[in-house]
């Protein structure tokens, strides 16, 4: 298991055991307590860096900086065109440095470098998309019916200080997605990256400053969810929390936010259904369904982890998918031939392998994988084989709980009505897939599924201009698309009596 890449000088300071600082008010600062925590390379278990462990006093400082930048600073009142110029410069920096950003995220959380490189279009695209939206903000004039002469209009105003809390599974994308929309709307931000993958957030924060973003508009505090994240969620100086992560943490954030009734948007977990009808193009559907579940080693919120296959083709489909899964190359993400990297951490390794035992104990059969990989170089990293459970029932834990590893539970179905019922029998509603050559069946299924995204004869495509988010316990609010900015804007109604 080789790694083809050497460490570029631009990211050396993040990954050679030094202690990168946090970014508060445009300055590099340690935690007030001086405490740090380790971040490791999941491919090898080696130490990358010691990061400041922010707690309440650090969050207080960062929120105060963001508040100052919002109220006194030029950002919220800056002309849209000027905000746009800065954000476009940021996009150029992301583009120029993307290869190194990709390597940094691969080192930090393990995803294959090919996948990280593949983020280029979306990362830069999002930065430019949100930059573009700065000049598209607008209110309305509204005809009213009250006696007299009154003019009514709406103003759109930034909500204020945003607490952004992001996960580790696609770090630089998560940063640009959250921060891009918030600052395009004129908000200021305190961002807490995931403890497992904070490094690219620190670098992207620097790039924003280099692009000309005023101090304090975006602050990055590294630390743990239970301390820094919780302090941010409960903070009276924060007007809104934009969160991506697990459903359990989303619930904790809503509780913490309730004390100040701050606004919250939540992008949470899922157990997304993926439905293969017998008339599907199986040359597309077999690898499509496998990668819907296995891409990024299954560490994708919208992964298609409940796979429903029409009974007539079930056996053949499972054999073909098992053969495909066994052909996938698992390895160190720095190797350009790697298709599946390690899981992000020892904790996730334990979580995912525990489900191998749970599935077997529940009576599911394993048609592929189902084990940790430990031979040779695998031993020091957090590797598992892509895993297919068959003979699964929709009520089993492996079919109801989000595993967040390369594990798919396959179920046979007999007809359209029953598969729609089974697909919707989940508290989640994030993604979903339909594979069929029958346009009417595809359309009917798209409408029947209670999920925020449905992919037809494809799975997992994302674009800056297309909204993404969940139904039910997969969260609320939409990210991406023009309407994303609404999540960061207030609407002020204005009445003017005219004579
Ligand atoms: P997580 O534990 O919920 O963590 C997400 C973020 O929340 C991290 O920054 C975490 O900090 C922080 N956090 C943890 N506890 C907190 C608390 N009490 N208050 C405030 N913040 C807190 O999730 P994860 O394990 O990192 O990520 C995997 C999960 O995220 C999966 O369930 C996946 O489905 C979901 N996810 C959803 C989407 C989506 O778009 N819908 C995208 C990616 C991932 P620490 O790092 O210190 O724990
Ligand atoms: Mg790490």
Report how far apart, in Å, the C-alpha atoms of 247 and of each of 72, 268, 392, 398 are.
36, 5, 24, 17
Instruction: Indicate if 301 belongs to the active site.
Output: yes
Per-residue pLDDT of the chain (499 residues; tens, 9 = 90+): 445 578 999 999 999 888 899 999 999 999 999 999 999 999 999 999 999 999 999 999 999 999 999 999 899 889 999 999 999 999 999 999 999 999 999 999 999 999 999 999 999 999 999 999 999 999 999 999 999 999 999 999 999 999 999 999 999 999 999 999 999 999 999 999 999 999 999 999 999 999 999 999 999 999 999 999 999 999 999 999 999 999 999 999 999 999 999 999 999 999 999 999 999 999 999 999 999 999 999 999 999 999 999 999 999 999 999 999 999 999 999 999 999 999 999 999 999 999 999 999 999 999 999 999 999 999 999 999 999 999 999 999 999 999 999 999 999 999 999 999 999 999 999 999 999 999 999 999 999 999 999 999 999 999 999 999 999 999 999 999 999 999 999 999 999 999 8
CB 188 within 8 A of CB 70: yes
114 in the same domain as 200: yes
Report the C-alpha gap between 386 and 402 in whole angstroms: 15
Residue 411 counted as domain residue: yes
Residue 498 counted as domain residue: no
Ligand in nearest proximity to the CA of 346: 2
Atom 8 of ligand 1: nearest residue by CA position: 194
Report how far apart, in Å, the C-alpha atoms of 382 and of each of 44, 198, 223, 329, 339 are.
8, 19, 22, 15, 15
Catalytic residue among 267, 402, 479, 487: 267
Beta-carbon contacts of residue 473 (< 8 Å; ≥ 6 apart) = 247, 268, 269, 427, 428, 429
CB 68 within 8 A of CB 101: no
Residue 175 counted as domain residue: yes
Sign of CA dihedral 311, 471, 246, 199: positive
Q: In degrees rounded to 5, what are phi and psi of residue 142? A: -130, 135
Task: Measure 47 CA to ligand 2 centroid, in angstroms.
Answer: 8
486 in the same domain as 447: no
Residue 470 counted as domain residue: no
Instruction: Report helix, strand and coil shares of the chain as percent, to nearest 5.
Output: 40, 20, 40
Element (H, E) at 307: strand 306-310
Report the C-alpha gap between 344 and 57 in whole angstroms: 29
195 in the same domain as 320: no
211 in the same domain as 238: yes
Count: domains in the chain: 2
Residue 69 counted as domain residue: yes
CB 65 within 8 A of CB 73: no
CA 470 to chain centre: 12
Tokens representing residue 226 in the block:
């239970």
In this structure, how many other beta carbons lie within 10 angstroms of the beta carbon of residue 42?
32
Task: Measure 245 CA to ligand 2 centroid, in angstroms.
Answer: 16
User: Which residues line ligand 1 at a C-beta cut-off of 6 Å?
Assistant: 165-169, 192, 194-196, 224-226, 229-230, 233, 244-246, 249, 252-253, 267-269, 301, 402, 404, 430
Q: What is the pLDDT of residue 73?
A: 83
The residue to mutate among 245, 255, 299, 473, having the most atoms of ligand 1 within 8 angstroms of its beta carbon, is 245
CB 97 within 8 A of CB 120: no
Q: Are strands 306-310 and 407-413 parallel, antiparallel or unpaired?
A: parallel
208 in the same domain as 338: no
Residue 67 counted as domain residue: yes
Report the C-alpha gap between 286 and 325 in whole angstroms: 10
Report the C-alpha gap between 396 and 129 in whole angstroms: 42
Tally the residues of the chain.
499
317 in the same domain as 201: no
Atom 45 of ligand 1: nearest residue by CA position: 225
DSSP 295: G
Tokens representing residue 474 in the block:
């997969």
**Cβ burial 245-266 (10 Å sphere, 16+ → b, else e):** bbbebbebbeebbeeeebbbbb
Instruction: Indicate if 267 belongs to the active site.
Output: yes
In this structure, how many other beta carbons lie within 10 angstroms of the beta carbon of residue 117?
15
Q: What is the pLDDT of residue 76?
A: 84
248 in the same domain as 290: no
334 in the same domain as 225: no
Residue 308: CATH number of its domain: 3.40.309.10
394 in the same domain as 285: yes
Atom 32 of ligand 1: nearest residue by CA position: 246
Residue 70: CATH number of its domain: 3.40.605.10
- Per DSSP, helices labelled H in 29-79 are 56-71
348 in the same domain as 281: yes
Could you list the residue range(s) of the whole structural domain that residue 176 is in? 9-268+475-493
CB 364 within 8 A of CB 391: yes
169 in the same domain as 57: yes
Residue 1 counted as domain residue: no
318 in the same domain as 254: no
Residue 4 counted as domain residue: no
Number of alpha carbons in the 13 Å side-chain half-sphere of residue 241: 33
């Amino acid at each position: 298991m080789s790694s083809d890449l050497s460490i570029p000088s631009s990211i050396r300071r993040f990954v050679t055991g030094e202690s990168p600082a946090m970014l508060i008010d445009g300055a590099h600062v340690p935690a007030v307590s001086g405490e740090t925590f380790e971040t490791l390379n999941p491919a090898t278990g080696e130490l990358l860096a010691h990061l400041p462990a922010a707690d309440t006093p650090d969050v207080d400082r960062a929120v105060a900086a963001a508040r100052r930048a919002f109220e006194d600073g030029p950002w919220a009142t800056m002309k849209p065109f000027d905000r746009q110029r800065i954000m476009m410069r940021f996009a150029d920096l992301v583009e120029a440095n993307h290869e190194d950003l990709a390597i940094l995220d691969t080192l930090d959380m393990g995803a294959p470098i090919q996948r990280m490189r593949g983020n280029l279009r979306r990362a830069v695209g999002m930065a430019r998309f949100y930059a573009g939206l700065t000049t598209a903000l607008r209110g309305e004039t509204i005809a009213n019916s009250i006696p007299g002469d009154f003019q009514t209009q709406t103003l759109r105003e930034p909500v204020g200080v945003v607490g952004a809390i992001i996960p580790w599974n696609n770090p630089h994308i998560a940063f640009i997605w959250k921060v891009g929309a918030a600052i395009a709307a004129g908000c200021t931000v305190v961002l807490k990256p995931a403890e497992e993958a904070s490094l690219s957030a620190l670098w992207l924060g620097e790039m924003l400053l280099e692009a000309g973003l005023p101090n304090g508009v975006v602050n990055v505090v590294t630390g743990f969810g239970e301390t820094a994240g919780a302090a941010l969620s409960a903070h009276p100086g924060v007007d809104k929390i934009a969160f991506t992560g697990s459903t359990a943490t989303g619930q904790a954030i809503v509780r913490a936010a309730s004390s100040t009734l701050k606004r919250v948007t939540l992008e949470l977990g899922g157990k997304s259904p993926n439905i293969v009808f017998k008339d599907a193009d199986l040359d597309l559907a077999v690898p499509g369904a496998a990668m819907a579940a296995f891409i990024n080693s299954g560490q994708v919120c919208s992964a298609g982890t409940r796979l429903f296959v029409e009974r007539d083709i079930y056996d053949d489909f499972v054999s073909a998918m098992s053969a495909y899964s066994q052909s996938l190359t698992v390895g160190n993400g720095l190797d350009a031939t790697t298709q599946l990297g390690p899981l992000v951490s020892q904790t996730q390794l334990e979580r995912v392998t525990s489900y191998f035992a749970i599935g077997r104990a529940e009576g599911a059969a394993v048609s592929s994988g189902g084990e940790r990989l430990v031979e040779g170089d695998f031993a020091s990293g957090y590797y598992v084989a892509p895993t297919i459970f068959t003979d699964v029932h929709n009520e089993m834990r492996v079919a109801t709980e989000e595993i967040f590893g390369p594990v798919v539970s396959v179920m046979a179905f007999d007809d359209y009505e029953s598969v729609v019922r089974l697909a919707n029998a989940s508290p989640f509603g994030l993604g979903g897939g339909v594979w069929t050559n029958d346009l009417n069946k595809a359309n009917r299924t798209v409408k029947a599924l209670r999920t925020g995204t449905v992919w037809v004869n494809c799975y997992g495509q994302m674009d800056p201009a297309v909204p993404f988010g969940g139904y039910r316990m997969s969260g609320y609010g939409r990210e991406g698309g023009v309407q994303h900015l609404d999540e960061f804007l207030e609407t002020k109604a204005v009445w003017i009596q005219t004579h």
